[in-house]
Chains A and B, each alone.
Chain A
Amino acid sequence: MDKTKEVVLDIRRLNGDLIFSNFTPEDHRQFEDAQTNSRSLVKVRTIEKKGYKVKYLTRDEDLVSSNRLFNKIIRLIENTVDFFVQGLVRLENNNAQSINRLDHNIATYNALSLQEIEVLIPQSKITGKEWGDKIKFVENQLQKNIRSTSETFLRLAKYSQGTKAELTAYYMLINKPDAMKFDKHRVYQVLMNSLHLFFPDFNENTIKVQMQHNNIEAVFDYDSVSVALFHLLNNAAKYCAPHSSLEISLMRHGNQSKIEFSMLSLRIDDDELKKIFTEGYSGKHAINAKINGRGVGMFVAKEIMKLNNGDIEIQTNRSTNKVYKTRVYENNKFILTLNS
């Protein structure tokens, strides 16, 4: 294309950060020059929009000689530019949100892991030891605290799996099906792989877990469905009433497999049944009880299930309303469906 017939653009945020530019260094110099030199051979225009600014420059003789024509060309380009910038900003915001979520959650799991290790092997005590005595010291600490060491290891396994769940969710929700691998799995086995990680949590809150076994198989992506299970079980461990039960049933009807989690857990109001699956929404009763998270788990679980040709739904039972230590509990069912 004849460069002299082009209209070139430089699009920046209002703080000067570059969004897009096909200006050459010479274009930049001539743009500045044209601001003050009325006999410049180029025609320029700056248009500020909501959140960004566009510089236009042309050397096209017809456009340079006609304000009307140049303005008309700019108006034609303007809508396309706006569509492009808004799309880009949305994409950037989504990415930033995903990265923030990943960063926060991984940092949390890492901190929890370090704390677990710190409790068993206090840094203040190990740093003072002679180099050769350090391993002996750790050995003694673990032997002295065999029970808490065991619990620590299970927690570390959970935090590692949590980290993996965050990374997997990030890749899945960004890359979508590219990173997925569909295969036929025994649902029971996949559930057990996630369930054991929550052994200390259920144990701590005296929650009885009952699970019905059968040989149901379904086709899904193991890594991503494990993420959904991780979030569901994490919520169950957090929100189930102490001394209650979590019943897990597996069912298959035709081409549909269902995993049903029935529990006495914090009430979910009617107006929350959909909201709970939106990113950043935490249940009112969880907030009141000051045990809410960042409102990400159910959102991620639902998105992941949809990528697996499945879904999650919640069924409540208001007649089972119970109050324990000011917290309102009801029998809730979280049903995961896999259509395969």
Chain B
Amino acid sequence: MFENLPEWFKWAFGGIGVSVVGGLVYFLQNPFNSKLGSDSKVEIQNNPQINVNVNTNASSNEVVNESAKPVKPPGKKKFSFTDQAKNEARLLFIDDDTRFKLVKILKEAGWLNVEIRKDAHVDDAQLKSADIVFVDIQGVGKKMAFQNEGLGLANAIMDKYPLKYVVIYSSERNGNRFDEIIRKADDHLYKHADVYTFEKCLENLLVERNG
């Protein structure tokens, strides 16, 4: 359905947008039609009433402000394009709730290598091969007997594999963001954040942005 659409549109409808809205729009029998004009003006009609007009030449001043994210140490793996990242990056979630739907949603969104496991030891092969590890604060780290559960495990992973990305997440909305281990991690997220937020985090960490 989206094969002929430009890259930005696939991105715009990445994540849950593809899996939920794409499917439903299909049911509504109003498929998106894309027409690429010679002047790069794209018109996408998703419904007789809703038009999205796109001008890829639209000029915009570059954003000068930098994101508040800390600068990553050199040497961490980067991917040139989002699709390449989606195809190649190996993501591992460590979460005692292995039914955590995000894993399935990310797979639906095109991230080909996403795994989840209940717990992990720093020497586990699956962990060794992962590029980015998401660690739930609660309910994990038991295998290595960490009293501070996921935080202890995340800390051990960061110490053993400084070139891996480690993201800590929690179902507590107001976790202690001043915790030393949380600050040491590449990012920290609310477990029930939108899929967009998780994908944004992945993009920030993994994708080499031009300019």
Contacts and interface: CB of A to CB of B under 8 A. Distances in A.
Interface of A: 146-147, 149-151, 153-154, 157, 171, 175, 178-179, 182-186, 188-190, 192-193, 196, 199, 202-203, 206-219, 222-223, 226, 250, 252-255, 340
Interface centre among A154, A209, A213, A252 (most CB of B within 10 A): A213
Contacts of A214: 55, 58-60
Contacts of B66: 184
A237 to B, nearest CB: 12
B71 interface: no
Contacts of B69: 183
Interface stretch (B20-28, B100-108, B156-164): B20-28
Given A192-B13, A213-B54, A183 B49 contact: no
Contact of A213 (B24, B25, B53, B68): B53
A167 to B, nearest CB: 9
Given A192-B12, A193-B194, A208-B50, A183 B20 contact: no
A175 B174 contact: yes
Contacts of A184: 63, 65-67
Interface string B35-63: 00000001000010111111110111101
A209 B50 contact: yes
B125 interface: no
B81 interface: no
B50 A212 contact: no
Contact of B196 (A222, A253, A254): A222
A228 B151 CA distance: 33
Nearest to B21: A196
A196 B17 contact: yes
Interface residues of B, number: 42
B53 A154 contact: no
Contact of A211 (B8, B20, B52): B52
A186 B12 CA distance: 9
A219 B62 CA distance: 12
12 contacts: A175-B174, A179-B174, A186-B11, A199-B50, A212-B58, A214-B60, A218-B63, A219-B63, A223-B194, A223-B197, A226-B194, A254-B61
A212 B174 CA distance: 36
Contacts of A185: 200
Given A147-B28, A214-B55, A154 B21 contact: yes
A229 to B, nearest CB: 12
Given A185-B200, A213-B8, A222-B200, A252 B61 contact: yes
A209 B204 contact: no
Contact of A199 (B12, B47, B51, B64): B47
Given A189-B11, A214-B58, 11 more contacts: A149-B27, A150-B24, A151-B28, A183-B200, A186-B12, A209-B52, A215-B8, A219-B68, A222-B196, A222-B197, A226-B194
Nearest to B56: A213
B183 interface: no
Given A147-B27, A150-B24, A179-B173, A210 B51 contact: yes
A123 to B, nearest CB: 24
B65 A212 contact: no
B58 A153 contact: no
**Lowest 7 A-B CB distances belong to which pairs?**
A214-B58, A150-B27, A213-B54, A184-B67, A209-B50, A217-B63, A216-B60
Given A202-B49, A209-B49, A223 B55 contact: no
Contacts of A192: 12-13, 17
A189 B53 contact: no
B193 interface: yes
A193 B55 contact: no
